[in-house]
Amino acid sequence: MTTAGQVIRCKGGLIAAAVAWESGKPLSIEDVEVAPPQKDEVRIKILFTSLCHTDVYFWDAKGQDPLFPRILGHEAGGIVESVGEGVTDLQPGDHVLPIFTGECKECRHCLSEESNMCDLLRINTDRGTMIHDGKSRFSINGKPIYHFLGTSTFSEYTVVHVGQVAKINPSAPLDKVCVLSCGISTGFGATVNVAKPKKGQSVAVFGLGAVGLAAAEGARVSGASRIIGVDLNPNRFEEAKKFGVTEFVNPKDHNKPVQEVIAEMTGGGVDRSVECTGSIQAMISAFECVHDGWGVAVLVGVPNKDDAFKTHPMNLLNERTLKGTFFGNYKPRSDIPAVVEQYMNNELELDKFITHSIPFSEINKAFEYMLRGEGLRCMIRMDA
């Protein structure tokens, strides 16, 4: 029976959505109505989703204006169920990854080869409705439930703007490649697209969570000879070896700034560094630890709003380069399908990022794992 053009309701006891009703409280499995896609929208049946730190941050609602009730989730893979008016490059049955940022293909950023920061669909954490009409496609007993990042993948079905949907190879396993829709692409792309280490060069990665390890994976794939992991948690080093990290530095083990430690280790500094923590001090250290003359530092982590980056101008005048990146400089619709192909061609390893797997009914366990710092990505199976 087709569901195109109809409101989808929970039937036969099937789980519909995990709703965050208030800050920091366990998600509640609810029967949610999902309206049909409107102009430039796509309705997707989510098959697999995973939990990212960003979901936890906005669920906890610290240091921000809370928006509840809300359906979180933004790393996922699924199949197009129906399309709205004006959608021509997707059709029901297509395998897709919904992405937290977008590509309208019309604005100056989308038309530029140098940017992926779409004017229309750039990440917006405050918006809880669809762009087309300012309304939510989710409701419970007529009461709207807010969207999250335009994706809301903690639901069996979700509605997403077509510009935030990457069509991928239908042979790709969605339970693996879905992690490419956020953190893994962010870290991997920061290295291969922005830092661009040459074969045999040295790379320092600050922060060995999932994004940092993806950056290390990018360095490994690029042929880096030394990959130095920097983290305050020594328990992460053993896991980091799987991603190509060759050496580990814990700033707490030294009585001097970590950038000086790295400079001594490498004869003047590393060739490239990638910062994945959001700590302003880590950002400064990542920049100051690269070699003068050719060193490139790339900032990935998001700092606190009141942070200020401070370094002596001579660090720049001595020909060090400082760059920032967003989503690894990938354009969601144009570039992510090719990253999926890298995985399919065994050029990129994803399985090692997935350390847990649980049924959707136990989604709160994923939050517990992340809050305890256990593992990297928890795969959530929507049909279980």
What is the rounded CA–CA span in Å between residue 43 and residue 157?
A: 7
Categorize the per-residue pLDDT at 16 as very low, low, confident or very high, splitting at 50, 70 and 90: confident
* Averaged pLDDT, 90-115: 97
What is the rounded CA–CA span in Å between residue 303 and residue 148?
A: 21
What is the rounded CA–CA span in Å between residue 7 and residue 34?
A: 5
User: Across-strand partners of 160?
Assistant: 42
Among the CATH numbers 3.90.180.10, 2.90.10.10, 3.30.70.890, 3.30.565.10, which is that of 15-181+350-381?
A: 3.90.180.10
278: pLDDT strictly greater than 50: yes
Categorize the per-residue pLDDT at 9 as very low, low, confident or very high, splitting at 50, 70 and 90: low
Question: Could you give the 3-state DSSP secondary structure of residue 333?
Answer: helix
> Is 271 in contact with 296 (CB distance < 8 Å)?
yes
The amino acid present at 98, given as its one-letter code, is P
List the structure tokens of 35.
Answer: 């309206």
Domain boundaries, the chain: 15-181+350-381, 184-327
Q: Which residues contact 113 (CB under 8 A, 6 or more apart)?
A: none
pLDDT tens readout for residues 30-85:
999 999 999 999 999 999 999 999 999 999 987 567 899 999 999 999 999 999 99
What is the rounded CA–CA span in Å between residue 79 and residue 47?
A: 8
- The catalytic site residues sit at 52-54, 74-75, 104, 107, 110, 118, 122, 182, 377
User: Across-strand partners of 100?
Assistant: none
Q: Which residues contact 101 (CB under 8 A, 6 or more apart)?
A: 116, 117, 118, 121, 122, 123, 164, 326, 327, 332
Q: What percent of the chain has pLDDT over 90?
A: 91
Same fold, 15-181+350-381 and 184-327: no
Place of tokens 């530092």: 297
The pLDDT of residue 305: 84
What is the rounded CA–CA span in Å between residue 63 and residue 278?
A: 15
Categorize the per-residue pLDDT at 5 as very low, low, confident or very high, splitting at 50, 70 and 90: low
CA 203, 205, 206, 207: dihedral to nearest 10 degrees? -170
List the structure tokens of 43.
Answer: 């309705």
The amino acid present at 210, given as its one-letter code, is A
11: pLDDT strictly greater than 50: no
CA 74, 75, 79, 85: dihedral to nearest 10 degrees? 30
15: pLDDT strictly greater than 90: no
What is the rounded CA–CA span in Å between residue 120 and residue 106?
A: 9
Which of 222, 230, 227, 231 lies closest to 202, judged by CA?
A: 227
**Mean pLDDT of all residues belonging to the chain:** 94
Categorize the per-residue pLDDT at 12 as very low, low, confident or very high, splitting at 50, 70 and 90: very low
What is the rounded CA–CA span in Å between residue 62 and residue 37?
A: 32
14: pLDDT strictly greater than 60: no
Q: What percent of the chain has pLDDT over 70?
A: 96
Could you list the beta-strand ranges (E) of 264-363.
272-275, 296-299, 321-324, 354-359
> Is 351 in contact with 379 (CB distance < 8 Å)?
no
pLDDT tens readout for residues 315-368:
999 999 999 999 999 999 999 999 999 999 999 999 999 999 999 999 999 999
Q: What is the DSSP string of 144-198?
A: EEB-STTT--SBSEEEEEGGGEEE--TTS-HHHHGGGGTHHHHHHHIIIIII-PP
List the structure tokens of 324.
Answer: 């920032």
The pLDDT of residue 199: 98
pLDDT tens readout for residues 182-230:
999 999 999 999 999 999 999 999 999 999 999 999 999 999 999 999 9
Question: Could you give the 3-state DSSP secondary structure of residue 350?
Answer: coil
Q: Which residues contact 335 (CB under 8 A, 6 or more apart)?
A: 116
Arch. (CATH architecture) of 184-327 = 3-Layer(aba) Sandwich (3.40)
* DSSP-derived pairing of the beta strands 143-145 and 202-206: unpaired
Which of 131, 154, 176, 117 lies closest to 357, judged by CA?
A: 176
List the structure tokens of 1.
Answer: 């029976």
CA angle 164, 337, 122 (to 5 degrees): 25
What is the rounded CA–CA span in Å between residue 60 and residue 24?
A: 5
> Is 261 in contact with 249 (CB distance < 8 Å)?
yes
pLDDT tens readout for residues 156-171:
999 999 999 999 999 9
